[in-house]
Amino acid sequence: MTPRPITEIRTATTQSDAGPSLRTAWSRAVDPLDEASTSVTQAWKRLTEALLREDFPAASDALDAARRGALEESDGGESELLRRIDAGRVAIDLALGRSVEIEHVRGLLAAAESLATTALSAYQLGRMFELRREWKKGLFYARAALTAAKSAGRPPWIAVNQNLVGNLLLAQSYFDEAAHHYRASLGTEAGNPLERAQASDNLAFALMAQGHTQQARPYLGRALATLRKVEGPARLSIELDLALLHLLEDRPQRAIHYASMASIRADNLKDDRSRSNALLLLTHGARETNNTFLARRCNQELTDIYDAEFAAALSTFDVLELVSLKA
């Protein structure tokens, strides 16, 4: 769909829920992909389909094809389309464990001439600081991305950025505020099924953190129904949250079921942090069911990740303290 022509938009918002101070001049196009060649748009479609499957190697190949097409369009020089594509690469590189320099992404944001590159670059910076556990810096860029997405009037961009703002608030234990942004993300009725499932899962977690397990349950059910055939990190997150839900609602056997699935999936994904979270949930399930064999096994696996003293201390945490699993 062709966007409404924009000759020049200037924003200077205050530090508020709308986002941090952001002042830039954008070119006529909301998104340079809207005017890209067929070869670029087809490659980008393959990229989107691969991301829905969480097939990051295939997504990387599709993005390389899109970039080659953009280079041909620009005769080898710099262009806003290339910056847009390079901003998209950051997410894939992060998912594949590749090193990405923050200054490189800041450079893309500073040079941005479209709402798309602005929103995407700021979003990637928010994600990078989230991964570094620098929540306040991440929140600054996430709100900047949300401001640009709202200016563009693109509901899918708004949805994904509302979710990121929610994540960064959740990490700082602002559960009410996080839930507000997750609801806003779902309220756009936009975004792909994977993103909507992630927002549902995140909202459920924020509700559980406030003791609202009954309200959380349907959101987890929807998320799981959407991602039953997905084997990646999003499914792992839902399984961890389902295990926590069942522990909070005094169903330890069901908790053990989901925590066991999460432990196996985390091991396959080489995600030690999620594996340790799954083992902690399993430990609590074992304690509630007097399963000493499972408790000893979990303690040994935690000892393999941490030292014995720290593993023993972790296993004594009350399940209610595990609301910090995602933080």
Q: Percent of the chain scored above 70 by pLDDT?
A: 84
Q: Which long-range contacts (CB under 8 A, 24 or more apart) does 68-76 make?
A: 69/36, 69/37, 69/39, 69/40, 69/43, 70/36, 70/40, 72/37, 72/39, 73/36, 73/37, 73/40
What pTM does this model have? Answer: 0.83
Q: What is the mean pLDDT of residues 21-27?
A: 42
Give just the sign of the alpha carbon dihedral 31, 96, 156, 110: negative
How far apart CA 213 and CA 103 sit, in angstroms, is 41
Tell me the C-alpha distance between 308 and 325, whole Å.
20
Q: In this model, does residue 168 exceed pLDDT 50?
A: yes
pLDDT score of 321: 59
Q: Is there a contact between 101 and 86 (Cβ–Cβ < 8 Å)?
A: no
How many degrees, rounded to 5, is the angle at CA 324 between CA 174 and CA 17?
A: 20
Retrieve residue 208's tokens.
């559980």
Q: Burial code of 208-247, b = ≥16 C-beta within 10 A, e = fewer?
A: bbeeebeebbebbebbbebbeebebbbbbbbbbbbbbbbb
The larger pLDDT score, comparing residue 33 to residue 306, is at 33
- pLDDT at 256 exceeding the cut of 90: yes
pLDDT higher than 90, residue 315: no
Position 317 scores a pLDDT of 65
pLDDT tens digits, residue range 58-78? Answer: 999 999 999 999 998 887 667
Closest by CA position to 139, among listed 169, 170, 103: 169
Task: For residue 21, name the pLDDT band (cuts at 50, 70, 90).
Answer: very low
Q: Does the pLDDT value for residue 26 go beyond 50? A: no
Q: What is the rounded CA–CA span in Å between residue 161 and residue 327?
A: 18
Over the chain, what HEC string results? CCCCCCCCCECCCCCECCECCCCCECCCCCCHHHHCCHHHHHHHHHHHHHHHCCCHHHHHHHHHHHHHHHHHHCCCCCCHHHHHHHHHHHHHHHHCCCCCCHHHHHHHHHHCCCHHHHHHHHHHHHHHHHHCCCHHHHHHHHHHHHHHHHHHCCHHHHHHHHHHHHHHHHCCCCHHHHHHHHHHHHHCCCCCHHHHHHHHHHHHHHHHHCCCHHHHHHHHHHHHHHCCCCCCHHHHHHHHHHHHHHHHCCCHHHHHHHHHHHHHHHHHCCCHHHHHHHHHHHHHHHHHCCCHHHHHHHHHHHHHHCCHHHHHHHHCCCHHHHHHCCC
d(CA 112, CA 91): 17
- What is the distance between the alpha carbons of residues 91 and 124, in angstroms, rounded to a whole number? 7
Task: Evaluate if residue 101 carries a pLDDT over 50.
Answer: yes
Cα(188)–Cα(29) distance, integer angstroms: 23
Buried b (16+ CB within 10 A) or exposed e, 163-180: bbbbbbbbbeebbebbbb
